Structure 1
Amino acid sequence: MSDPRRELFRNANFRWIIGGGLLSMLGDQFTLLALPWLVMGLSRDPLVLGTVLALGSLPRAIFILVGGALVDRHSPKAVLLLTKWINFALLGLLAALTATGAVTLPWVYGLTLAIGLATAFSYPAGSAILPQTVPATLIQPANGVLMGARQLVLLLGPVLAGLLVTAGSEPALSGHGLALAFGFDALSFAISAWTLSRVQVAASEARPPQPVFAAIAESLKSCWQDRELRALFTYFSAIAFFVGGPIQVALPVLAAERLPGGAAALGAMLAVHGLGALAGMAVSGLKPHWRLSTLGGTVLLIDTVAGCVFLAFGHVHAAWQGALLLLPLGALGGFVQVAVYSWLQKRIPPEMLGRSMALFMFIVMGLAPLASAAAGAALRVLDVTQLFTAAALCLLGVVALGALFTPMRRIAYLEAVG
């Protein structure tokens, strides 16, 4: 059996994609760190900061299905290339305004909104381009490397960004370091746009233009009529709800109430979780044959183990205990993410991939705030131990229902040739 790593990095398209993608992902971390500092430098009102951050994510949730429809109408490469140049211009303007001291809150509101809108189109485009650029046999290894690289950037990027934002002898909230951060992100988009232009995509059949909302309706109908796809989307909706909320809300409460060090303990646990996810993604990509006979069976088994791990969270009283639990939880989640993502890219017809992947992301991202709100409300009547126990039991219940009453356990891996 050939080594997938060697085959993957011998593929010129993949080298261009990961080279530009890594730089762009690193640049994003600079903006994610610098933007809150900029806002807090302009206004100490937490409501203003919350509003700015909401403006960055709300357009993505609202327009991501529209973005998926346009990706399918045109091409993933064309849409992704356009969004990269748009982000280059927006972040370049923000860097210039910050460097000259001309930046104001209205400018921040407007530019953040525009950047968030661009991501509604870049997300589905980025998820749909891989099957057009690498052989089908390399899709899962490619996803493993790309997602693992993204996870590594999430771990290291904030540290590098923090060093740049506080560069020189000026205060951390000064325009110099912040402008450098925004400028670096803008430059990363320009370079990644150039690397993307070098990528050769497979020729696709010309399709007649279709109204955007009709195209979205068509993809919704297609996903609903596909029993396995419908089961997978529904299953992961429930998993995201019962796992995402406690991780986002209950874990910080646990750290604040019980763990010595508080925020430092939370940061250490989340870093370990990230390392676990990185390891799981790497294993899933480089060892795609480490699995059960079906994808659904693998997912159900992994989520059963995750549910059992979750049961112990409420009894954590030291950071090392939480880290010991989050490490395998992150690894299992990373492994499943790569496998499922790759299955979707192989299963969904190319002419509908942008819309269908956008729908999957819309479901997961749309549930995140609801899950967090539900976990916060539950903590008013339950303590942290009870919430983690309830979440674990719900997770195990979802696994049981999925195994008994849906086609989940019969969802097979798709073996592609070429």
Structure 2
Amino acid sequence: MNKQRSPILQDANFRWLLGGGVISGLGDQFTMIALPWLVLTMTGDPLALGAVIAIMSVPRAVFMLLGGALVDRYSPKRVMMVTKYVNAALLGVLAGLVLFAPALLSLPLLYALALGLGLAQAFAIPSGTSIMPQVVPPEHLQAANGAMMGMRQLTMLAGPVLAALLIAIAGDGGAAAAATTAAGAGGLHALHAPAGAFGIGIAFAFDCFTFLFTAWTLAQVRMRAGAARPAGPPQSIFSSVGEGLMTVWRDVALRTCFMYWSVVAVFVGGAMQVALPLLASQNLHGAGSLGLLTGAHGTGMLLGMALSSAGVKLRFGGFGATLLAIDAIVALLLAPLGAITATWQGAALLLLAGSLAGFMQIAVFTFIQGSVPPRMLGRAMSIFMFIFMGLAPLSAAAIGALLKVITLAQLFAGGSALLLAISALAWWLTPMRSIGTGGLRSES
């Protein structure tokens, strides 16, 4: 009975990979809370915080394509193992400085460590998103993706709460930072980590531990028989990246989907990254409201992933038609966000939108993994992740300027109308609606 109900959990390799992913994801959330808080306690300057985020995200996006090529050359497991040790080393240094030598941690040094973390992620992300087909058989791939993404989403809900609690209890350096600011710190780049930031240091130390621990769990994973790819002729990394781009371009279904996602990321994705924090600060009740809104969206995504993993069907035709229909529904849910007057209203809308997004996210990953030859999967996944982690942040920068001439309500309404228009144009002008899970179908 158990085997019939959950065959994927009978696979020891998958259990090692899933357990490591959960622990690593939890540690990631600790750093995502601790790092911006450290910058703010050091400087109190949003511009410095933006600089740290940019230093992490821009190189990550640029080098992610090279990361995908290395994954395909050396295998996802080998690349992931190296990134775990690199991340552990960087976070160990950061934790040690905050805990034992805060006077040595200047802003330029923090920029350098952030750059190192961003570069490590550029190689960790394509390896993490392409290893699954080498661990589980094809018939269990969607269930495995659902379980992994669902647990990852769970860590994204629990991790920030646990990290914030740890930092608040153990010390966030706020008092020391306030005293430094009141006394006048001089030049911005002369600022150092404040004393008393014990909780922040422990958060970094915990993430360092999770990377070391999950390096051990990853070592227990054995690739399934027949998953190893032929090495092929020697090829330069840049040629390998070009081959990956051409592989996606030559496949009509992949090219259509990737171009559609790029347009959505540029014209809609970046706007949402900026709009939600502004909505919480201008229309609602500040950081508490933002936490509830993001929590509702995350809960919705977890619910959608759980339903998909359980085999619940949500279809409006094939894969492409379903993707466009769900995007259109999400657009309608986002439209009234700019006019809400209570946090619960936004939470309800984002819960529904997140459920649809979570459900579709598993289908998207499974579609890519099933459409690309195994030896090219690292590069294909790096291109996909580049779209959302590279293009969307670039468009977010332009939204700040746009909000000087339009209102927040107009931004949400305009973004919703734009997403509806993009999905409608993709339906009528591209082969999108004829794409199935196995690629382009001959029937419409």
TM > 0.5: yes
CA distance in 2, matches of 1:383, 1:265: 19
* Amino acid in structure 1 at the alignment position of 2:228: A
Is this contact kept in 1: 2:30–2:163, CA < 8 A? yes
Q: Residue 107 of structure 1 aligns with which residue?
A: 109
Mapped pair 1:250 → 2:275? yes
- Please give the secondary structure, in 2, of the residue aligned with 1:199: coil
Is this contact kept in 1: 2:323–2:360, CA < 8 A? yes
CA 1:386–1:44 in structure 2 vs 1: closer, same or farther (change >3 Å)?
Answer: closer
Superposition deviation, residue 238 in structure 1? 2.0
Q: Residue 27 of structure 2 aligns with which residue?
A: 27
CA 1:54–1:225 in structure 2 vs 1: closer, same or farther (change >3 Å)?
Answer: same
CA distance in 2, matches of 1:8, 1:95: 37
Q: Residue 187 of structure 2 aligns with which residue?
A: none
CA distance in 2, matches of 1:4, 1:305: 34
* Amino acid in structure 2 at the alignment position of 1:19: G
Is this contact kept in 1: 2:171–2:199, CA < 8 A? no
Is this contact kept in 1: 2:84–2:212, CA < 8 A? yes
CA 1:356–1:384 in structure 2 vs 1: closer, same or farther (change >3 Å)?
Answer: same
Q: TM-score, normalised by structure 1?
A: 0.93
Matches within 5 A, 1:250-329: 250-259=275-284, 261-287=285-311, 289-329=313-353
* Amino acid in structure 1 at the alignment position of 2:119: L
Superposition deviation, residue 4 in structure 1? 7.3
CA 1:2–1:295 in structure 2 vs 1: closer, same or farther (change >3 Å)?
Answer: farther
Is this contact kept in 1: 2:302–2:358, CA < 8 A? yes
Is this contact kept in 2: 1:4–1:141, CA < 8 A? no
Mapped pair 1:408 → 2:409? no
Superposition deviation, residue 210 in structure 1? 0.8
CA deviation profile, 1:112-159 (whole Å, cap 9, x unmatched): 211111111010001110000001111111111111111111111011
Is this contact kept in 2: 1:73–1:209, CA < 8 A? no
Superposition deviation, residue 96 in structure 1? 1.9
CA distance in 1, matches of 2:46, 2:277: 19
Is this contact kept in 2: 1:141–1:288, CA < 8 A? no
CA deviation profile, 1:16-43 (whole Å, cap 9, x unmatched): 0111111111111111222223333433
* Amino acid in structure 2 at the alignment position of 1:209: P
Matches within 5 A, 1:40-55: 40-55=40-55
Off by >4 Å, runs of 4+ in structure 1: 1-5, 168-173
Q: Residue 198 of structure 1 aligns with which residue?
A: 220
Matches within 5 A, 1:69-218: 69-102=69-102, 103-105=104-106, 106-168=108-170, 171=173, 174-201=196-223, 202-218=227-243
CA 1:12–1:292 in structure 2 vs 1: closer, same or farther (change >3 Å)?
Answer: farther
Is this contact kept in 2: 1:273–1:326, CA < 8 A? yes
- Please give the secondary structure, in 2, of the residue aligned with 1:380: coil
CA distance in 2, matches of 1:17, 1:332: 26
Q: Percent identity?
A: 48
CA 1:4–1:166 in structure 2 vs 1: closer, same or farther (change >3 Å)?
Answer: farther
Superposition deviation, residue 240 in structure 1? 2.3
Is 92-101 or 10-19 further displaced after alignment? 92-101
CA distance in 2, matches of 1:121, 1:245: 23
- Please give the secondary structure, in 1, of the residue aligned with 2:117: helix
CA distance in 2, matches of 1:296, 1:64: 26
Q: TM-score, normalised by structure 2?
A: 0.88
Is this contact kept in 1: 2:85–2:211, CA < 8 A? yes
**Superposition RMSD in Å:** 2.2
Q: Residue 8 of structure 1 aligns with which residue?
A: 8
CA distance in 2, matches of 1:408, 1:3: 37
Superposition deviation, residue 294 in structure 1? 0.9
Superposition deviation, residue 164 in structure 1? 2.2
CA deviation profile, 1:246-266 (whole Å, cap 9, x unmatched): 32222333333333x233223
Q: Tell me, which stretches of 5 or more residues in structure 2 are unaligned?
A: 175-193, 440-444
CA distance in 1, matches of 2:292, 2:165: 19
Superposition deviation, residue 189 in structure 1? 0.5
